[in-house]
Structure 1
Amino acid sequence: MKNRSFAVIGLGTFGSTVASELARFGNPVLGIDTDERNVTRLADVLTEAVIADGKDEAALKEAGVGNYDVAVIAIGEDLEANILCTMHVKMLGVETIWVKALNKTHHRILSKLGADRVILPEQEIGQHIGQMLHNPLIRDYVSLGNGYHVVDLKVPALLDGVSIKEMSLAETYELRALGAMRESQFLSCENGELRLKEGDKLLLLGKRPDLRRYGDDLRARQ
């Protein structure tokens, strides 16, 4: 698959991290910031890094933002600059726009302006950490949209030797086992015959309330 090109506007902690990761994967990345120090710091990391103001449509056009497949607007606390930059990038014809929001009201405004994805980093990371702190068996999880998540569950001692079929995941919790990792080996759960071992990483698919209910039941039984 051909790598997409990215313009990241705002090179603070969040923006510079996103831009650096995208560049590390071999994508063409343009970084833009008003602060010369932020631009200089990433000059050797990104394909191109320029000093420009996200509020200035002409400056964004001159930087070539309209030629990029995706724009990530990571401007921090300046609400006006964030909104104006979103409008300008949309007008320049960028196909996909992701924007960092400051709060839920800001989220609604950006959505109405046509942002494809609005990110609330602190809220999303907070929810992620809260899930894992609430149930230490959950190592990680990924949202698939429409209420569905995949969780990485560390198999506890009480499930050692238990088969997937015996767990009655679908019947009792409306969950599906996708597979298990045992050290570096992936094990299929397709026929339900797999017997788990303590410490396996079990991948479960389901809706958040059902996953939470199952995790709480496991925790209560320990």
Structure 2
Amino acid sequence: MARGTRSFAVIGLGAFGSTVATELARFGNRVIGLDLDDRRVSQMTATLSSAVILDTTDEGALREAGIDRYDVALVAIGDDLESSILTVMNLKLMGLSEIWVKAANKAHHRILSKLGVDRVIQPEQEMGRHIAQMLNNPALQDYVSLGNGFSVVNIVVPERLAGRHLTALGLGTTHDLRLLGVMRGSEFRHADEDSVLETDDKLIVLGKRPDLRKFGDSL
């Protein structure tokens, strides 16, 4: 296994689980995929380190598959709350050091939090918020939430600002934000006060959401 990689057990190979498993494998990690559906498992055999048909509510079966030797488990079982919860309990009993779980709803989320998992994911809600941010401000290409109200956003420079210096944006003065750099095409540039903007430059900006929203509106 390549230096810096980890091993992952992805339980549930539906659309969400199979996508995560595929990407983790693409990054060079050792990934095992587990599902009761033989069709889903067979579709992943060529992509993952291994793919196994397994009932993960059976602690003994999980131990036989060696899941306790993996660094991280992602439980991506769909709407079967009982199977999801039993699987998490088995993983906790086995001493998995890190467990992430996809939650189907708020009640599921609350139960998982009580079980002490490391991260509860609600993909539809998280993606919904992401899309709403971009729909609300067409200049916003992408963003990453860092917690504590801070985000990093990727904002496209509109044509009307082409040829102007970065100081015209008021970053760090009018707007309490920090410019991390500028993407021009596929090239990343460290920006300074003398930098001149071009149409379709992408500004990578760090700050709190209200300040980022105000800045986006000003463009």
TM-score with structure 2 setting the length: 0.94
Alignment correspondent of 1:16: 18
Bigger Cα displacement from structure 2, 46-55 vs 64-73: 46-55
**What is the Cα-based RMSD across aligned positions, in Å?**
1.3
Cα offset for 1:172?
2.3
Alignment correspondent of 1:195: 196
Alignment correspondent of 2:45: 43
Please tell me the residue identity of whatever aligns with 1:152: N
The answer on 1:176 being equivalent to 2:178 is yes
Q: Identity across aligned pairs (percent)?
A: 58
Cα offset for 1:193?
2.3
Contact 1:6 1:68 in 2 (8 A): yes
Supply the distance in 2 between the matched residues of 1:78 and 1:52 (Cα, whole angstroms): 15
Please tell me the residue identity of whatever aligns with 2:64: E
Supply the distance in 2 between the matched residues of 1:161 and 1:116 (Cα, whole angstroms): 47
SS at match of 1:173: coil
Supply the distance in 2 between the matched residues of 1:107 and 1:85 (Cα, whole angstroms): 15
Supply the distance in 2 between the matched residues of 1:52 and 1:107 (Cα, whole angstroms): 24
Deviations along 1:84-133, one digit per CA (max 9) or x if unpaired, are 11111122111111110112232222122111111100001111111111
Alignment correspondent of 1:185: 187
Bigger Cα displacement from structure 2, 116-125 vs 140-149: 140-149
Supply the distance in 1 between the matched residues of 2:193 and 2:87 (Cα, whole angstroms): 52
Alignment correspondent of 1:30: 32
Supply the distance in 1 between the matched residues of 2:128 and 2:171 (Cα, whole angstroms): 28
Cα offset for 1:152?
0.8
| Unmatched runs of 5 consecutive residues or more in structure 2 | none
TM-score with structure 1 setting the length: 0.93
* Residue correspondence of structure 1 range 126-205 to structure 2 within 5 A: 126-189=128-191, 191-205=192-206
Aligned length: 217
Alignment correspondent of 1:215: 216
Bigger Cα displacement from structure 2, 10-19 vs 55-64: 55-64
Cα offset for 1:2?
2.6
